[in-house]
Structure 1
C-alpha cells in the first residue's frame, strides 16, 4: 500500500548554476518553493550538490567509491552541502514553510537505510514539517568516506517508504529518446533497454545517468517515477495532482515496502 507522501528531488543543476562555483540559483529555488507551498500532501525534499558539493568533490577527487580521501576535502565538501541546504531551508522558511534540515547520516549507514530513522522522517512529514535532506560525503568505516548522491537517497527513501509520488526535478524536459533532437520519452514501462544509458551525460555523482539508473530501481519497487524540468515548476504541481505534464514517467511494477 502506498503512503500519501511525495518525495521531490531538486537537482543540483536546478538549484545552483553548475558552471559558477558556489553559486545558488535563488530565482529557481524561490520559484520552486512557491509551488511547493501549494502541495497539500506530506512532503520530503532531497537536493543535489550542483556547484557546491560537486565543485569541491571534483577538486578533491572524491567519488561514490569508498576511499581514504583527503580529510580537509571531506570537511570542505560536507560544509558546502550544509551551506546549500541552509540556503534552501531558509528560503522555504521565508515562504512560511516548516522546513527541517536532515543530514543523510541521520537515516543511513554505509549507504544502507536505517529503517527506524526513515520512518521518523515520514512521521515528521505527516505532522506539518518538511524534511529537507541532501547528497553528501558520508563516513563508511574507519578512514573511508564516500559520496552518497541525492539520487541514491531518493531510491533509499522510496524503497523504504513506498510514497505515492516520486519526482526528479532536473534541468531538462525528461529522458531523451534522441539526445540530438531533444525528443523526450513520455512513458517507460520499466525497460531500461529503451534508454541508451551510455549516451547520457554523467558527472562525479552520476548526473542524468545516475538519475535514470536510480529511477528504474525505484520503479521496480512499485512506484511511478516522474522526471521533469524543475526550471518550469508548474510541472511539479501538474505531476503531483495527476494532471498531464511535460516530462517522462517511469511506470512502477510490483514491490513491497521494506521493513526493519
Structure 2
C-alpha cells in the first residue's frame, strides 16, 4: 500500500541528493519563464527536460497517476472553456486568421488551436517539475529551502506539515474505506451512484474528524514547545550546498537566459509562425 501513497520517498538518485533550496529555486525559475513564454519551441524543450528529470528521479507512474488524471481533467476542461468563451482570442493574439471550420463567432482558426497548444504545453511541463520537487524533497528540507529564499519560517513549517501528513491522510482514507466496506457500505463501481455517494460520506466524515484531531494534537504540541517565539529557527533537515546544487542553479539560469533571449528575438513573448 505504501507504494500508492503520494509524497516524498527516500531514493538514491541525483535529484534526491540535491538540496531543497536548489530544487525550489530551479522549479520557481523554470515555471516562471515557462509561463511567461509563448514560444512553442522553448516550451517543447521544457517538456522534454521535465520528463527527463522525472525519469532520472526514478518516480513510478503509479505514484502520481491519480494526480495526473486530475490535472488532465482540469486542463482539458480549461481548454474547452477557452474555446467556448473566447474562440477568436488566438486570431487576435497572433494578428492573422486562418479558418479551419465554422463561421461567425464560432469560427475555429489555426491560431486558436496553436494558442491552446501552447497552454497545453505549459500544463504538461509544469506537472512533472512539480512531481519531481515534491517527490524528491524531504518536507523539512523543503521548508528549510522556503525559509532560505525569504519565506517566514512559520509559513514554511506549515507547508512542511501539509506535505508530511498527506501520506497519513491517504493511509487513514484507505483504512476507513476498508472498515466501512466491511460494514456493508458499497463504494465500488458495481454499486449505484446513490450508494457510492452514501459510502463516500461514511468515509469523508470520519476522515475529517480524524484530521481535525491530528491538527489539534499537533497545534498543542507546538504551543507547549513555544513555537513561534523567536524570529529565526534552525532546521533538522538542512543540507549545505554542493557542486550538484551549483550545477543545477547554473543550468537553470542558462535556460532562463535562453527564454529571455527568445523574448527579445521574437519581439515579445509570442513566437508567431503565421507571419
TM-score (norm 1): 0.28
Going by fraction, where is helix more abundant, 1 or 2?
2
TM-score (norm 2): 0.27
Going by fraction, where is strand more abundant, 1 or 2?
1
Please say which structure displays the higher CA radius of gyration: 2
